């Protein structure tokens, strides 16, 4: 069996489409498609079902990749052991909610890596569902997920069912983030009704584990807003709000440095639906490394600066 083709199949399964997988692998799509077909022919199975909205694994494909992913990880680990002859490499990986204080903590933590002889660090901002997938599939060692406090019971039950340790990092009321030049900036406190004539900037993937997407969208994205712009990247969202005085977004507290950099201000919103929890998650059988503990220390220190 061609291990490269097996890696390609795993990438396609994760991406859900040939085009996305080809882009992530930096491989021409026809070549990727040909490799999958050759693997299917070699094993005499069909790995994927082609659907109008993408491709999904067949039962044989599920069996192949459930074991194949373990083989891929073992091979990559073996390669790493022989390549890293200069000593064991320190690895830190975090998949986290989009939050200023988390990014600030990672930036502070990164300075300590200069003292490590060999190190790699990975930091990915994404939604809760993707973070859980990243941690459960062992692509990232640590995760920080965000969910509405009203879903605390459901979230904890789900995390327990997946054998994940969860530690509360922060609970906060989301703040209305606006340009300094916005008319809303004249008020110290803003009611949701004051936002009726403004455009909301929101992340397009408001997923909460174990709760239906329909229910989440109904609460997180109520029908009251006439105009919305959906984004998936934090810096782009902040720039968008900064450049449009008729736009706003709900966000966790921002540092003075970030507010100054983007010419933004934040105001209080008393909505009871806008209280959130950020929770650190990792497998119960995982022992935190020295790097993990150093990051958590930075995280708690940054949180204390902003969540007063």
Q: Which two tokens stand for residue 39?
A: 């693997």
Helix 100-112 / helix 290-306 crossing angle, nearest 10 deg: 140
Count helices and strands in the chain by DSSP H and E runs: 11, 13
148 and 285 co-located in one domain: yes
Q: Give pLDDT tens digits for 155-164.
A: 999 999 999 9
Q: What is the CATH number of the domain that holds 44?
A: 1.10.10.10
Could you list the residue range(s) of the whole structural domain that residue 20 is in?
A: 3-83
The two beta strands, 90-96 and 119-125, are parallel
96 and 74 co-located in one domain: no
268 and 128 co-located in one domain: yes
Q: Give pLDDT tens digits for 58-77.
A: 999 899 988 888 898 888 87
139 and 276 co-located in one domain: yes
Among 66, 83, 100, the domain-final residue is 83
pLDDT at 82: 66
pLDDT at 209: 52
124 and 26 co-located in one domain: no
Q: How far apart are CA 99 and CA 114, in angstroms?
A: 24
Helix 29-43 / helix 3-15 crossing angle, nearest 10 deg: 110
Nearest to 220 by CA among 232, 207, 234, 236: 207
This prediction's pTM: 0.68
Q: Which of the residues in the chain have pLDDT under 50?
A: 211, 213-214, 216-219
Nearest to 198 by CA among 177, 212, 173, 213: 177
135 and 44 co-located in one domain: no
Q: How many residues does the chain have?
A: 308
Q: How far apart are CA 110 and CA 112, in angstroms?
A: 5
- Phi, psi torsion values for 232, nearest 5 degrees: -130, 10
pLDDT at 141: 96
pLDDT at 281: 97
pLDDT at 223: 52
Alpha helices in 137-266 (DSSP H): 152-161, 213-220, 234-243, 256-262
Total domains, the chain: 2
65 and 97 co-located in one domain: no
Q: What is the CATH number of the domain that holds 100?
A: 3.40.190.290
Q: Which residue, chain included where needed, has tokens 């109904």?
A: 218
The two beta strands, 175-179 and 247-251, are antiparallel
93 and 61 co-located in one domain: no
The two beta strands, 199-203 and 247-251, are parallel
Among 60, 83, 106, the domain-final residue is 83
78 and 91 co-located in one domain: no
């Amino acid at each position: 069996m061609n291990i490269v083709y097996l890696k390609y199949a795993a990438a396609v399964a994760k991406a859900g489409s040939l085009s996305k997988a080809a882009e992530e692998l930096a491989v021409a799509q026809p070549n990727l498609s040909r490799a999958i077909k050759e693997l299917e022919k070699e094993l005499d199975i069909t790995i994927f079902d082609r659907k109008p909205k993408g491709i999904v694994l067949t039962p044989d494909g599920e069996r192949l990749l459930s074991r194949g992913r373990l083989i891929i990880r073992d091979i990559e680990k073996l390669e790493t052991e022989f390549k890293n002859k200069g000593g064991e490499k320190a690895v830190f990986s975090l998949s986290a909610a989009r939050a200023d204080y988390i990014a600030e903590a990672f930036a502070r933590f990164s300075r300590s890596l200069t003292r490590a002889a060999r190190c790699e660090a990975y930091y990915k901002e994404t939604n809760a569902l993707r973070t859980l997938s990243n941690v459960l599939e062992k692509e990232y060692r640590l995760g920080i997920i965000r969910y509405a406090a009203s879903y605390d019971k459901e979230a904890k039950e789900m995390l327990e069912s997946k054998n994940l340790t969860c530690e509360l990092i922060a609970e906060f009321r989301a703040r209305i983030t606006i340009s300094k030049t916005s008319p809303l900036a004249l008020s110290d406190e803003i009611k949701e009704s004051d936002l009726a004539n403004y455009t909301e900037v929101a992340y397009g993937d408001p997923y909460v584990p174990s709760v239906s997407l329909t229910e989440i969208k109904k609460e997180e994205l109520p029908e009251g807003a006439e105009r919305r712009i959906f984004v998936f990247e934090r810096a782009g969202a902040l720039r968008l709000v900064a450049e449009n005085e008729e736009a706003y977004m709900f966000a966790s507290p921002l540092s003075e440095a970030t507010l100054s950099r983007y010419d933004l201000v934040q105001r209080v919103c008393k909505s009871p639906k806008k209280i959130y929890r950020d929770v650190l998650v990792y497998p119960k059988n995982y022992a935190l490394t020295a790097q993990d503990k150093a990051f958590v220390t930075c995280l708690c220190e940054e949180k204390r600066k902003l969540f007063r």
